[in-house]
Structure 1
Amino acid sequence: MSWIDIGALEDIPVRGARKLKTAQGCIAVFRTDEATVFATANACPHKGGPLAEGIVHGQKVTCPLHNWVFDLETGAAQGADEGRIATYAVKVAQGRILIEASVLGEKAA
């Protein structure tokens, strides 16, 4: 895999998120604890809610529009909700957040 640096870990607060605009569309990058990050599609499949603005709890995010809950590792909706969000390979190295390079290509944002 080829990795691209997208920013400093300290730029995202613990239990917070940031939106990353890419050629493939917007991606939400979540920080769940001191050194754990996840990257998913930013739009909730239910009504398109901006997940980067949702509430991060454990390894889940709750959509700010209609409270759908998604597992950040698998992308699966939790509870009675059905649906899935795309997840992307991301890691932390030397205090920097890196995302797998193929995420940043292909379709228009």
Structure 2
Amino acid sequence: MNTTMQEYNVGSLEDFLPRIGRVVELGGVQLALFRTSEGTIYALENRSPHPKGGPLAEGMVSGCYLYDPLYDWKIDLRSGEVQAPDRGIVKTYPVTETAGQIKVCL
């Protein structure tokens, strides 16, 4: 099993508008990246954990939570966990910022 992680440059901090999702495809994986009002960037798989699926990039961000645009599920951007009473998890990816450049590890 290959556990090597690769780091991808996805742009500068200014490329990500606060509270607006942006879709990025890396290594065959479609990600939804979000910048919070505080300036932190999170990367999640761009797929709702709801049984019917759907994209997450169009969701609304409030604090460290994302509200699924189709089902209004509340998802923690830090862990990917869906908040009660709903259940599920979204895969999250590590994000780093170096000299204003944003990088995602896959």
The answer, yes or no, to whether TM exceeds 0.5 is yes
Contact persistence 1:35–1:92 (CA under 8 A): no
Measured on the aligned residues, the alpha-carbon RMSD in Å equals 1.5
Indicate which of 51, 54, 70 corresponds to 1:49. Answer: 54
Structure 1 outlier segments of 4+, above 3 Å: none
Unaligned runs of 5+ in 1: 104-109
User: Counterparts of 2:16 and 2:33 in 1: how far apart (Å)?
Assistant: 8
Distance 2:83 2:28 in 1: 25
Relative CO higher for 1 or 2, CA cutoff 8 Å, sep ≥ 6? 1
1:4 partnered with 2:4: no
Matches of 2:104 and 2:89 in 1, distance apart? 20
In structure 2, what residue type is equivalent to 1:9?
A: L
Shift, 1:73, TM fit: 0.5
Q: Secondary structure at the match of 1:21?
A: strand
CA distance in 2: counterparts of 1:4 and 1:22, whole angstroms:
8
Q: Percent identity?
A: 41
Contact 1:60 1:71 in 2 (8 A): yes
Q: TM-score, normalised by structure 1?
A: 0.84
- Greater helix share, structure number: 1
Unaligned 5+ segments in structure 2 are none
1:32 paired to 2:7: no
